[in-house]
Amino acid sequence: MNYAIILNVLGKLLQFLALLMAIPLLVAVYYGDPLLPFAVTLVVAGFLGIMLSRHYGAGGDWKAREGFAIVAFGWLTAAVFGSIPFILVGIDPLNALFESMSGFTTTGATVLQDIETHSKSILFWRSMTQWLGGMGIIMIFIAILPKLGVAGRQLFRAETPGPTEDKIKPRIRGTAKILWTVYIAISVLEMVLLKLAGMSYYDAVTHTFTTMSTGGFSPYGAGVAGFDNPLIEGIIVVFMFIAGANFALHYRTLYTDHQSLIKDNEFRFYAAIILIATIVLTFSLWKDMGQSIGTAFRYAIFQVVSITTTTGYASTDFDLWADSSRIVLLAVMFIGGCAGSTAGGIKVVRLLLLFKYAQNALFRSIHPKAVKTIKLNNKAVPEDVMQAIVSFVVIYIMIFAVSTALLSLMGMELISSITASIATLGNIGPGFNLVGPMSNFAMVPALGKILLIANMWIGRLEVFTVIVMLTPEFWRK
Q: What is the DSSP string of 40-61?
A: HHHHHHHHHHHHHHHHS---S-
Q: How deeply is 166 buried, as exposed, middle or buried, from its count of CB atoms within 10 A (0-12, 13-18, 19+)?
A: middle
- Full DSSP string of 388-443: HHHHHHHHHHHHHHHHHHHHHHTT--HHHHHHHHHHHHTT----SGGG-TTS-STT
Q: What pLDDT does 474 receive? A: 77
Q: What pLDDT does 15 receive? A: 93
What backbone phi and psi angles, to 5 degrees, belong to 68?
A: -60, -45
pLDDT tens, position by position, for the chain (477 residues)?
A: 778 888 888 998 899 899 999 999 999 999 999 999 999 999 999 999 999 988 776 556 667 788 788 888 989 999 999 999 999 999 999 999 999 999 999 999 999 988 999 999 999 999 999 999 988 766 665 655 544 444 444 455 545 544 445 555 545 667 777 888 889 999 999 999 999 999 999 999 999 999 999 999 999 999 999 999 999 999 999 999 999 998 888 888 888 888 888 899 999 999 999 999 999 999 999 999 989 999 999 999 999 999 999 999 999 999 999 999 999 999 999 999 998 888 989 999 999 999 999 998 898 888 887 778 888 888 888 888 888 899 999 999 999 999 999 999 999 999 999 999 999 999 999 999 999 998 889 999 999 999 999 999 999 888 888 888 888 877 776
Q: What pLDDT does 103 receive? A: 96
d(CA 337, CA 351): 11
d(CA 370, CA 376): 19
d(CA 407, CA 439): 17
Q: What pLDDT does 442 receive? A: 93
d(CA 477, CA 440): 44
Decide: 171 and 396 in contact? Cβ < 8 Å.
Answer: no
3-state class of 380 per DSSP?
A: strand
Non-local (6+) Cβ contacts of 410 within 8 A are 445, 447, 448
Decide: 113 and 442 in contact? Cβ < 8 Å.
Answer: yes
d(CA 115, CA 440): 11
d(CA 336, CA 309): 5
d(CA 156, CA 172): 7
What are the residues facing 379 on neighbouring strands?
376
What backbone phi and psi angles, to 5 degrees, belong to 221?
A: -60, -35
With vertex at residue 274, the alpha carbon angle to CA 271 and CA 279, rounded to the nearest 5 degrees, is 125
With vertex at residue 425, the alpha carbon angle to CA 8 and CA 392, rounded to the nearest 5 degrees, is 80
- CB contact burial 448-468 (16+ within 10 A = b; e otherwise): bbebbbbbbbbbbbbbebbbb
- Full DSSP string of 128-188: HHHHHHHH-HHHHHHHHS---THHHHHHHHHHS-SSS---SSSSHHHHHHHHHHHHHHHHH
d(CA 428, CA 307): 7
Q: How deeply is 163 buried, as exposed, middle or buried, from its count of CB atoms within 10 A (0-12, 13-18, 19+)?
A: middle
